[in-house]
A and B are shown apart, each in its own frame.
Chain A
Amino acid sequence: MRISLLDLLRIAVGGVTARLTRAALSVLGIAIGVATLVAVTGIPASGQQALLAELSRLGTDLLEVSARPAQSDDVATFPAESVAMAGRVGPVTGVSAVANTQASVRRSDVADESSGVGVAVLAARDDLLGTVDAELADGRYLDAAVDGFPTVVLGAQAARWLGITRLPDDGPGPQVLIGDRWFAVVGVLEPARLVPAIDQAALVGWPAAEQYLGFDGRPSVLYVTARENAIEDVRAVLPATVSPELPGLVAVSRPSDALLAKRQTETTFSGLFVGLAGVALLVGGIGVANTMIVSVLERRGEIGLRRSLGATRGHVRAQFLTEAVLLSGAGGFLGVLLGAAGTVVYVLARGWPVVLPPAAAGLGLAGAVVVGVVAGLYPAVRAARLPPTEALASA
């Protein structure tokens, strides 16, 4: 005799709700596992979305061309005319360059002062800011009016290290000692998202570097922008263009790719977290199995009665299996809600767009149901195998 699915569900709901506290606890166990699963997929998805939005704002048309030294103690540079040569490549829309002057920078002339350690003094072209999409936090950038004088613009990190994050509105600005000469700080930059190397630099005008720091005019890094659709072609021809003699020692990278990769590792939860969610789900499943085993032991009388009323072994098995799936399914449902809520709170706190992959919710629910079936199978089979007379006798 078959019983309808509706009848089966009613029996199971009755069985589960008769012991509410216990049911709630095993539901909670599953819910925690599923919530973790949803959060560890939802949060990275939102972070990814935020990153893509950021990248489309920053642009992905920038290439960074650097030279590898032929010998380890060489200073790797390009020919002075490489900037102009790169600019002649068809799809290229802009070229700028910096060069490491090897000079050191200090806040004052007090001996063994270490505030400038880590700051690189770069000769920078006047068009650098526009090319790499960096912005000023304060003051001005180098231009034709000042680039021949001992003036300097500080990257965001360099400014912090040197203790000069703001410039006075009027009166003489702060000065730093570069080499053995005082340079006036005329500007401070915002963090450069695509070119973090600039954050740690003190930027000096190209002519000023040649005049005061013994700079030979050979750039060490070129920044090239090109039409987005031709970027890979440009990337391919740049080494031979900027360094016809030693193209093999030229490295061309795309800073947006580097940022993407870096942020991906930051926002993607490691396998550890996914593993943790799996363990939580497993523990939840053990909770359900335990609840069901205790339930079967306690309800031998009910099992015996149902058998005497004509329930087959299959009916009893289906009933307990359904109860287990109900517990874990409810846990899965609650877990999806909790996980989504947690994701929304976390993501909004970071100012990211909220992305809740439906697959995560589906996976969480399906995972919960599978856990319920697995957890319920053994207790259900035990309940079904119980001889009716034994079940009645122990009641």
Chain B
Amino acid sequence: MSEPTGGVVELDHVTKTYDGGVTALDDVSLTVADGDLLAVVGASGSGKSTLLHLMGTLDRPTSGTVRVAGERVDTLGDRALSVLRARRIGFVFQQSHLADRQAAVRNVETGLLYAGVPRRRRETLALEALDRVGLAHRAGHLPHQLSGGERQRVGIARALVTSPAVVLADEPTGALDSVTGAAVVDLFRALNATGVTIVVITHDQELAASLPRRVTLRDGRVVADERAVAVGGAKEADR
């Protein structure tokens, strides 16, 4: 049993082997510190999504321990994990998964539905979250009235609305053109500046390179964990 190191998410000697026998993660130890903006890069199949799912308690490790906000998740049941996901973790996916017939603000409110926030407070919080992603003026729009980038921002607002300890984004720019994608990454950077901890998976090396911390996976192992000392400057290897 390992001691908590104070990170928002801590993986300690985590291995994930799927039923088919594929070891997607192999003895990974990684700590996401409060205030991190962390890019996860690696070839397709290297285990990035698996890593994110374990961090987000959507799946359980085959061995090793996962802590979220200091709490060991392997001992938690479905209800407790759900509370954790509802309150401490925000997910952003490649598809924005918006409900077609609901206005942007209602879609953001969905993020509060399972967090026990009373109905009357939801709209205020949702509008605040939309404001944070620069979409206050689109609150009443339906998804089909929004651009792809705007839809993704609504998805990000939905992840932010509970003020989670960490936002986990799996290729949030994957379905966007490079300019729009860059704008989303800019948004992450801006949010990070206000104290939001973000883990973002990306295939775009350039985008990844522009972020303060970069973890590289290969065949389920962490092969690099680098921090930028200064924007555009030299990078210092962490390990």
Residues of A within 8 A of B (CB): 1-4, 6-7, 11, 14, 17-18, 301-302, 304-315, 387-389, 392, 395
A310 to B116 CA separation, bound complex (whole angstroms): 10
Question: CB distance A307 to B85 under 8 Å?
Answer: yes
Residues of B within 8 A of A311 (CB): 82, 113-114
A17 to B100 CA separation, bound complex (whole angstroms): 11
The chain B residue sitting closest to A312, CB to CB, is B82
Which of B78, B82, B97 is the one whose CB lies under 8 Å from A302?
Answer: B97
Residues of A within 8 A of B83 (CB): 1, 310
Residues of A within 8 A of B84 (CB): 310
Q: Is B188 an interface residue (CB 8 A)?
A: no
Using known A-B contacts A7-B119, A389-B53, determine if residue A309 contacts B101 with beta carbons closer than 8 Å. Answer: no
6 nearest CB pairs, A to B: A310-B86, A310-B114, A308-B91, A312-B82, A388-B58, A305-B97
Min CB distance A318 to B, Å, is 12
Residues of B within 8 A of A306 (CB): 110, 114
Which of A17, A313, A392 is the one whose CB lies under 8 Å from B78?
Answer: A313
Number of residues of chain B lying within 8 A (CB) of chain A: 29
Residues of B within 8 A of A301 (CB): 95, 97
A7 to B119 CA separation, bound complex (whole angstroms): 8
Question: CB distance A3 to B56 under 8 Å?
Answer: no
Min CB distance A274 to B, Å, is 41
Min CB distance A70 to B, Å, is 85
Residues of B within 8 A of A307 (CB): 58, 82, 85
Residues of A within 8 A of B99 (CB): 14, 18, 302
Kindly list 14 other residue pairs between chains A and B, CB separation below 8 angstroms, not including A309-B110, A388-B53, A395-B93. Answer: A1-B79, A1-B82, A305-B91, A308-B56, A308-B93, A309-B85, A309-B113, A310-B86, A310-B87, A312-B82, A314-B79, A387-B58, A388-B59, A395-B95
A4 to B115 CA separation, bound complex (whole angstroms): 12
Question: CB distance A309 to B59 under 8 Å?
Answer: no
The chain B residue sitting closest to A305, CB to CB, is B97
Residues of A within 8 A of B95 (CB): 301, 395
| Interchain Cβ contacts under 8 Å between A and B, 29 examples | A1-B79, A1-B86, A3-B113, A11-B113, A14-B99, A18-B101, A305-B93, A306-B110, A307-B58, A307-B85, A308-B89, A308-B91, A308-B93, A309-B86, A309-B110, A309-B111, A309-B158, A310-B83, A310-B86, A310-B113, A312-B78, A312-B79, A313-B78, A315-B82, A315-B114, A388-B53, A389-B53, A392-B58, A395-B97
Q: Is B102 an interface residue (CB 8 A)?
A: yes
